[in-house]
Chain A
Amino acid sequence: MAHAVATPEIQLPTIPLRELGPWALLFALLTTVVVFFISADQGAVSVPSGTAIHEWVHDARHLLGYPCH
């Protein structure tokens, strides 16, 4: 935090967007995959086919507001 030297006001830290980019990209990908399997898989689209994933997370799907049956 070398940039926070002796200013009269409290210096607010910022995180360079270049540092943030890779984290954001990777995590956005992970989020998309997780949200897909919990919220929509084996409903509108099926990967893999069957109903096991759908049924396992079924109540979360309804209660967290995702469209189901």
Chain B
Amino acid sequence: MTARAFLVRGLLVGLLAGLATFATAYVVGEPHVEAALQVEEAHAATETDEAGHHDDVAVVPRTQQRTLGLLTGSLSIATVLGGTVALVAAGTVGRVGRLSPRQSTGLVALIGFVAVALVPFLKYPASPPAVGSADTIGARTTDYFGFLLVSVVVAVLATGLALRLLDRHGAFTAGLAGVAAYVVAMVAVGSLMPAVDELGDFPADTLWYFRRASIATLTVMWAAIGIGLAGLVGRLHDRERAVVARRELAASL
């Protein structure tokens, strides 16, 4: 097994996961993006135009934003995530207790999903168009990526803690300690960081449907990467083991 073999598989799986991500986002998410844009338009029609960086000068028409544009974003993000997960998995293979390459790769993707997608979503959930204020985009971006970064660092540290406890205390205690450390740290950080409060009178149903669609999309993306990559890495390992077994048999004859 080589870093290159992992990366190639990660990019391939990421690309395919990007297609699944796009399909999910398009089918499950787009109706609620459109609904939110209608809320925005209704607002813009009553108030004199003060918000709306989209409506006044649309460089890219909506039909392209919701198809090729969404596809571009989905494929790009899923592909780089696939490659990143693959390289992290390459670093952890054979280093997580007695977990097989298939298992440790799946674990990396699972931890990645929690730390990169799920927990940031719980603190700073995705918001449909018309919810955020243009004035706060700087602060919201900093907070989101700051929290994301902390989450990843804490997840790495918590995993490291679990690995250190693994030999002496067993998988159950080590896993529990790692999860507990991560949860406690993230609850503390989350409660210290500012909340976003910009909803106004945006319809709660539309907001919930959009957010549900968003987390579903992220879940599909990470699941596709995790399952796909664990499968390919497992097959690679099986093949290499078969080669080694044949060689040993030949040497013993």
Residues of chain A having any CB pair with chain B under 8 Å: 1, 4-6, 10, 12-15, 17, 19-20, 23-24, 27-28, 30-31, 34-35, 37-40, 43-44, 50-52, 55-69
Q: Is the CB of B25 within 8 A of A52?
A: no
**Interface core residue of B25, B70, B215 (most chain A CB under 10 Å):** B70
* Residues in A whose Cβ lies below 8 Å from that of B244: 1, 4
Can you list 26 A-B contacts with CB-CB less than 8 angstroms, sorted by A residue number? Answer: A12-B100, A13-B101, A15-B3, A15-B93, A19-B2, A23-B4, A27-B84, A31-B80, A31-B81, A44-B140, A44-B141, A55-B59, A57-B69, A58-B60, A60-B69, A60-B70, A60-B73, A60-B74, A63-B126, A63-B213, A64-B73, A65-B214, A65-B218, A66-B126, A68-B129, A69-B53
Q: Which residue of A lies closest to B236 (CB)?
A: A13
Dominant secondary structure of chain B at its interface with chain A: helix
Measured CB to CB, the closest approach of chain A to B105, in angstroms, equals 12
Q: Give the number of residues in B that approach A within 8 Å (Cβ atoms).
A: 76
Q: Is the CB of A68 within 8 A of B101?
A: no
* Residues in A whose Cβ lies below 8 Å from that of B17: none
**Interface core residue of A13, A50, A52 (most chain B CB under 10 Å):** A13
In the complex, A44 Cα to B132 Cα: how many Å? 13
Q: Is the CB of B137 within 8 A of A13?
A: no
Q: Is the CB of B93 within 8 A of A69?
A: no
Interface code B234-253, partner A: CB below 8 Å = 1, 0 otherwise?
00010011011000100000
Q: Which residue of B lies closest to A36 (CB)?
A: B145
Q: Is the CB of A67 within 8 A of B127?
A: yes
In the complex, A35 Cα to B204 Cα: how many Å? 29
Q: Which residue of A lies closest to B71 (CB)?
A: A60
Measured CB to CB, the closest approach of chain A to B135, in angstroms, equals 10
